[in-house]
Amino acid sequence: MSILDMYNQFRDTFPEITEKADKEHIRLWSEIDPDLAYSWFESLANSLNNEMKKDVPAREYSDVFEFIRSHFMNGDKEVRNCIDVAFTENLFWQVKPENAKPYWDAFPNVLKELYVDFHARKPA
């Protein structure tokens, strides 16, 4: 599965957070373009950060985290890199620890490891 395949599957599976990520992506890149699918996952992380800041319950995004975990575990090198760099490294950015904690608790262990490997600490 390619990054574009993962991007399209995500969009079909999670229309509500996709709409929020699209707005963030347009703010940053001026358009939605499948050729920018890699960068779109950074916009997804930013959208989830906004949800954390609004105190939206983490359970609302447990299926999103499972989707990302599954694709990381089963994806090729490009998919794994996209999840690691574009998504995981940007998640929890400028989120208060008390808002990040429920999401961190729901975050799959393999993705937690990526986060800690990059940031050298937990977000909460």
pTM exceeds cut of 0.75? yes
Q: Which of 3, 100, 108, 12 is nearest to 66 (CA)?
A: 108
At 25 the pLDDT is: 95
Judge contact between 118 and 89, C-beta under 8 A: yes
Coil vs helix vs strand at 80: helix
pLDDT of residue 1: 84
pLDDT at 59: 96
Q: What are phi and psi of 108, to 5 degrees?
A: -60, 145
Query: What pLDDT tens digit does each residue of the chain (124 aa) get?
Result: 899 999 999 999 999 999 999 999 999 999 998 888 999 999 999 999 999 999 999 999 999 999 999 999 999 999 999 999 999 999 999 999 999 999 999 999 999 999 999 999 999 6
Q: Which amino acid appears at position 50 of this protein?
A: N
- Residue-range domain boundaries for the chain: 3-119
Q: Determine contact, residues 68/111, Cβ cutoff 8 Å.
A: yes
Give the C-alpha distances (Å, rounded to integers) separating 26 from 18, 22, 76, 87: 12, 6, 27, 17
